[in-house]
Amino acid sequence: MQNQRVVLASRPQGAVVPSNFRLESAETPALNDGDILVRNHYLSLDPYMRGRMEDAKSYAAPQAIGDPMIGGTVGEVLESRAEGFAAGDLVVGGGGWQTHSVSPALAWMKLKPGLPLSIFLGAAGMPGITGWYGVNHICKPQPGETLVVNSATGAVGSVVGQLAKLAGARVVGVAGGATKCAIVKDEFGFDECVDYKDPDFKAKFKAAVPKGIDCVFENVGGVLFDESLKRMNAGGRIAVCGLISGYNGENIAIEQVRSILVNKLLVQGFIVSDHMKLWPQAIKELAGLVATGKIKYRETVAEGIAAAPEAFIGLLKGANVGKQLVKLI
């Protein structure tokens, strides 16, 4: 079977550029016992991939030069040498930036048919589970409390805000531009959205949290993190999920450290892959909320594996709205 794949050609010097990637074609390898061959339908593009392109110490090993870029995919089993998997099964797993994946079935999870496959890469997939974990296990918003989430139209942020709304919190999103903010309020139902590109951002952000902030789901870092720290209430919780503003090596120092002490804050960094035991429960809950329309989602879909690098570069700049996918079939 002919596989089209995108490999890491070189590590970025600052911003990611197209030449950091290379499109290749290769025959799929033979299956070993326990392997399945998956025809990937959708590839998920996520900010964490930027970290893997680096050599630096992070929570995961760096991506090797010349290997296919790692990434979550959903698809259909074409061939199985693994018990419990058969051709035609729908699966989600780490297929990578490629059209066909051969890998141990252990790395895949079977999906029940009936819902759009792509949601298992978004609202009911890794990003949604990330939001679910941060909201339910770190932020724990109470009715009447205020939760702030940035990257609010993103696959993680949109789920965070909607879960917090379901918990009875007042939810304020931060997003880039009036179009995104309109989606955050009108589609996702947040109480407020503040445009971080607005020259009056700081004043508008302050006005959007008149009772202070009890929970922050932090995806961005830097100035946005500091503005939230300034406005925290005593006993506040901050789930640190990402620092996308520093992914190209920019300074993400924070000035408002005193708030951690004075307001007795809990600041917790986390990565959802440390909590795999909770995934089945989270997927079930999130898929149910998506199926009943209680969680809404947006997708931005690039067409074809060759489009993945540009789509990823766009994601890092905030060009997408909602979950960034690549359609592979």
Classified as helix, coil or strand, 225 is helix
Q: How far is the CB of 251 from a second copy (least distance, A)?
A: 7
Q: How far is the CB of 166 from a second copy (least distance, A)?
A: 26
Q: Which pair of tokens denotes residue 305?
A: 């594996």
| Residue 211 within binding range of a second copy, rule CB under 8 A | no
- Alpha carbon 22 to its chain's center: 24
| Residue 34 within binding range of a second copy, rule CB under 8 A | no
Interacting span for a second copy (CB under 8 A) from 125-133, 139-147, 249-257, 294-302: 249-257
Among 269, 280, 288, 304, binds a second copy (CB under 8 A): 269
| Residue 4 within binding range of a second copy, rule CB under 8 A | no
Among 251, 276, 292, 293, binds a second copy (CB under 8 A): 251
| Residue 240 within binding range of a second copy, rule CB under 8 A | yes
Q: List Cα–Cα distances, 199 to 192, 223, 248, in angstroms.
A: 17, 13, 23
DSSP state of 222: T
Among 9, 166, 182, 254, binds a second copy (CB under 8 A): 254
Can you tell me the distance from the alpha carbon of 321 to that of 183, in angstroms, rounded to the nearest whole number?
A: 9
| Residue 261 within binding range of a second copy, rule CB under 8 A | yes
Can you tell me the distance from the alpha carbon of 5 to that of 131, in angstroms, rounded to the nearest whole number?
A: 29
CA angle 89, 95, 101 (to 5 degrees): 75
- Alpha carbon 38 to its chain's center: 23
Can you tell me the distance from the alpha carbon of 145 to that of 259, in angstroms, rounded to the nearest whole number?
A: 18
10 and 65 Cβ atoms separated by less than 8 Å: yes
Q: Which is nearer to a second copy, 267 or 307 (CB)?
A: 267
Q: Which is nearer to a second copy, 22 or 230 (CB)?
A: 230
Among 71, 93, 127, 242, binds a second copy (CB under 8 A): 242
Q: Which is nearer to a second copy, 138 or 283 (CB)?
A: 138
Q: Is the dihedral of CA 43, 44, 50, 56 positive or negative?
A: negative
Residues 53-92 that bind a second copy (CB under 8 A): 57-59
Residues 218-237 that bind a second copy (CB under 8 A): 221, 225, 234
Which amino acid appears at position 312 of this protein? F
The number of beta carbons lying within 10 Å of the beta carbon of residue 200 is 11
| Residue 257 within binding range of a second copy, rule CB under 8 A | yes
| Residue 112 within binding range of a second copy, rule CB under 8 A | no
Q: Interface with a second copy by CB under 8 A: which residues?
A: 57-59, 221, 225, 234, 240-243, 246, 251-255, 257-258, 260-271, 274
